[in-house]
Structure 1
Amino acid sequence: MSFYTSLSGLKAAQTDMSVISNNISNAGSIGFKRSKAQFGDIFASSPTQSTKMIAGQGTRLNGITQQFTQGSYESSEKTLDMAIVGEGMFVVRGEPPREQVAYTRNGSFTKRPDNQVVDSTGAKLQLLPVDANGNVTDNTLAGAFDFVIPAASPSDPTAELVNVSIGLDGLVTATFTDGSDTILGKIAMATFPAMEGLRPVGDAHWQSTGESGPPTIDAATNGPMGAIRSGALERSNVDITEELVMLIGAQRNFQANAKAIEGASQISQTIINMR
């Protein structure tokens, strides 16, 4: 039994090191959120047995949870680089025919040749419709639409685009050569009842699940959505010093369990060689 008990410890330490290694490797990834492995003990006995006479049977992985704490920020000279100060996430939509909706903290957006604003995976950033005063008129996923930067003023095709500005509340305004301004919408953001239940799909993107609950869609500065900082990017929330200390601890656990297996093997060999 001691073999299997120590073997479960070896597997747990290996999983712990894998999680920590993944955190360290993504320390420079924009919008990445660190993960933490959580373990629980294994204990089993029949109803008629006294638990005072039974040892545990090892450990098992309860789950790998993500830590959605705020990451540090770095300045950027691009207007389409955005960082969120709060709990919200950007809403992006994939290409047809699936047009799968995902949520991300990676605010590194660029403009494609067709003037659509996309993230690093090519998913299109979503906007919410607003009225003339900049108030959101539809805060649902069905009402959200693709962020497309106009090449010219809607009222004057000869007036070319000069600038695009993004406010703290996510209001996107386009300015043209004739001095006119056009409000394009507000950047769609989402929060969830249980952020830890989101399903990671890579590239700092997540999808909603039954464990996360349905998304609440709204604009920035509303509730826990937070504010949007244009010209900045949120780095990962990985603390290298903390991760290295945890990695050393996981290595020590692995070595200790390996020693326990070696000791059990020696005891078994001694018993077998007894005459």
Structure 2
Amino acid sequence: MGFGQGLSGLNAASQNLDVIGNNIANSGTVGFKTGTATFADVYASSRVGLGVQVASINQRFTTGIVSTSGNQFDMAIDGAKGLFVVTQPNGATLYTRNGQFLADKDHFIVNAQGQRLMGYAPGGTNLIPMTVPIGNIAPQATSTITNKVNLDANAKVVPPTAEVLAKVVLTQGGTDTTYYYRPVSNDWYSDAAGTTVSVPPDGAYTTGTPAVAVNIATSVPDVIIPSTGSNVAYAPATAPIAFDPANPDSFSKMVPLTVFDSLGNEHRVEQYYTKREPVGGESVWEVNYVVDGNVDPANKAILTFDSAGRLASSTPNPPMINFTPGGATSPADPVAIQVAYAGSTQFGGSYSQDFVQNGYATGEYASMSIGTNGELVANYTNGAKQVMGQLALADFANLQGLQPVGGNAWAETANSGQPIMGTPGSNGLATIKGQAVEESNVDMSQELVNMIIAQRTYQANAQTIKTQDQILQTLITMR
């Protein structure tokens, strides 16, 4: 027995105690990974070993407990695979599991060491520092309105307005023929109900006394005096009331909503639903769009519903709302809004309408949220959201080959291999949990037991040195 073996045992036990003490000291360090000392025996062409040596200090990259922190910039890697990518002020790249981040004075997202968190721009493939947005988000003009409505199947057809048909007796070749004429629309009918169109044939007719030649193909007399009967007789006819937002009898239901132009200015769009006479067994609804109180006959659509209450068609398809925002001091781009009614119905019951329009006014930055896929989403005071970037995660073929550099960070080495880059949730990488951190994976109970074992090992090695000393002392005192 020699002093060398015991001394090597003391050194190994001492380093083991250092590792255990470091684990215990970092039990509250976010993202810390437990270290473990591994040992190897020492031989030098001898049947008797020369002691022990510390072969390596390995780290256990298991996932620590993920706990909520409430800090908007905190994030935890929720899984074993993946490391945050950060860069130092000198440009060196490091890797860490510590997800405690904040915004610095330059609006970069950094950790306590000032290292910048790296990721990808939306749609990009090159690593860039992640930043917090500043200023207002640009407004977005409304381009689509998605409606899902139920129109009351029991609603009455909008009351028709009364028109008159002039009773006209035309004489040709001594024969009198009675027709009915609508002056407003220049329509001819063969009966007083105004339902059957029968345009008089072209030719010369005589009316009145004395007779006046009239060619139906080229002119219609302003005053028609029939050859027999009363001067002008009237029969009932009907025509729908023309739409007028000021006349509540001209529509069935009105629903307002707000849209936006390219400058973020608000505009009021009122959708007026008017039930018309059914056509071909289908219910017909006329929709008029009034923008800022202005009626444009072109901003209109016709919706038809089948006997089951399902939307059958819309004309035009899709309906469009077009208008040019006013204002000489701040003119905005013309607005063209595509309107959709997919899934709309006509059932017996009350009116209901859900709608979504995709425009918004400008808004100020309010907060940041982090998706499970690593997307950094900026939230604005106007309710809009904008993806500012996506985190990058790195994995290595040999995590044990990474070089710890302090500050909860590791550096790439030849033994670790090159980083395998990706986004959270892709390529087998872990996902991200926002407003949370990954606690140390130190098992305190296990470390205390390991400390007792290391202490006993140290004491036992010290005892071997003591025993060797006693043997040498005995040899020296022999005579």
Fold agreement, TM-score > 0.5: yes
Where does the alignment leave 5 or more consecutive residues of structure 1 unmatched?
Answer: 47-53, 132-136
Paired residues for 1:84-95 under 5 Å: 84-86=77-79, 87-95=81-89
Q: Which one of 91, 94, 98 corresponds to residue 99 of structure 1?
A: 91
Q: 2 CA distance for matches of 1:13 and 1:164? A: 48
The letter of the residue matching 2:49 is G
* Pairwise CA distance, 1:235: 0.7
Q: Is the 8 A contact 1:152 1:176 kept in 2?
A: no
Q: Which residue of 1 aligns with 2:112?
A: 120
Further displaced range: 258-267 or 110-119: 110-119
What is residue 129 of structure 1 aligned with on the other side?
A: 121
More strand by share: 2
d(CA) in 1 for partners of 2:381, 2:400: 46
What is the correspondence of 1:184-199 to structure 2 with a 5 Å cutoff?
A: 184-199=388-403
Paired position in structure 2 for 1:50:
none
In 2, the alpha carbon distance for the partners of 1:5 and 1:220 equals 49
Q: Distance in 2 between matches of 1:179 and 1:254?
A: 64
Where does structure 2 lack aligned partners over 5 or more consecutive residues?
140-360
In 1, are the aligned partners of 2:74 and 2:99 still within 8 Å (CA)?
yes
Q: Where does residue 233 of structure 1 map in the other structure?
A: 437
Identify the residue that residue 131 of structure 2 maps to in structure 1.
148
Q: Counterpart of 2:368?
A: 164
Q: Secondary structure at the match of 2:57?
A: strand
Aligned AA (1:130): P
Please state whether the residue corresponding to 1:196 is helix, strand or coil. helix
What's the Cα RMSD here? 1.5
The question of whether the paired residues in 1 share the 8 Å contact of 2:137 and 2:380 is answered with: no
Deviation at 1:179, TM superposition (A): 3.4
Contact 1:37 1:65 in 2 (8 A): yes
Question: Structure 1: how far apart are the matches of 2:137 and 2:458?
Answer: 65
* Secondary structure at the counterpart of residue 247 of structure 1: helix
* Superposed CA offset, 1:216-236 (max 9, x none): 111100123200000111111
1:217-232 mapped onto 2 (5 Å cutoff): 217-232=421-436
Aligned length: 257
1-structure distance, mates of 2:385, 2:14: 57
Give the 3-state SS of the residue equivalent to 2:136 in structure 1. Answer: coil
Aligned twin of 2:455: 251
Q: Tell me whether 1:110 sits opposite 2:102 in the alignment.
A: yes
Alignment partners' CA distance in 1, 2:103 and 2:69: 16
Find the counterpart in structure 2 of residue 18 from structure 1.
18
CA contact (8 A) 1:73 1:83 kept: yes
Task: Give the aligned residue type for 1:147.
Answer: M
State the distance in 1 between where 2:65 and 2:383 align.
Answer: 37
Amino acid at match of 1:188: A
- In 2, Cα distance between the equivalents of 1:221 and 1:130? 16
Q: How far apart are 1:65 and its partner, in Å?
A: 0.9
| Structure 2 equivalent of residue 4 of structure 1 | 4
SS of equivalent to 1:224: coil
* 1:158-198 CA-partner distances (Å, limit 9, x unpaired): 63102322110001111223333321111111000011111
Between Structure 1 and Structure 2, the one with more helix by share is 1
Distance apart, 1:76 and its partner CA: 1.3
Whether the 8 Å CA contact 1:91–1:125 is kept in 2: the answer is yes
- Asked whether the 8 Å contact 1:89–1:225 carries over to 2, the reply is no
TM-score calculated relative to the size of structure 1: 0.90
CA distance in 2, matches of 1:241, 1:180: 48
Kindly, what percent of the aligned residue pairs are identical?
39
Counterpart CA distance in 2 for 1:34 and 1:106 is 14
Deviation track 1:22-61 (CA, whole Å, cap 9, x = no partner) reads 0000000000001111101112227xxxxxxx22111111
Q: Distance in 2 between matches of 1:152 and 1:69?
A: 41
**Is the contact made by 1:191 and 1:224 (CA closer than 8 Å) also made in structure 2?**
no
| SS at structure 2 position matched to 1:183 | strand
Partner of 2:74: 81
Which stretch of structure 1 is more off in the superposition, 150-159 or 173-182? 150-159
Q: Distance in 2 between matches of 1:168 and 1:225?
A: 11
Distance 1:168 1:158 in 2: 27
Aligned to 1:212, which of 416, 436, 442? 416
Deviations 1:115-173 (A, max 9, x none): 11101111011121233xxxxx41xxxx1111111122352596310232211000111
The whole-number CA distance in structure 2 between the counterparts of 1:92 and 1:19 is: 26
The answer (yes or no) to whether the contact 1:92–1:125 under 8 Å persists in 2 is: yes
Taking structure 2 as the reference length, the TM-score comes to: 0.52
- Helix, strand or coil: the match of 2:388? strand
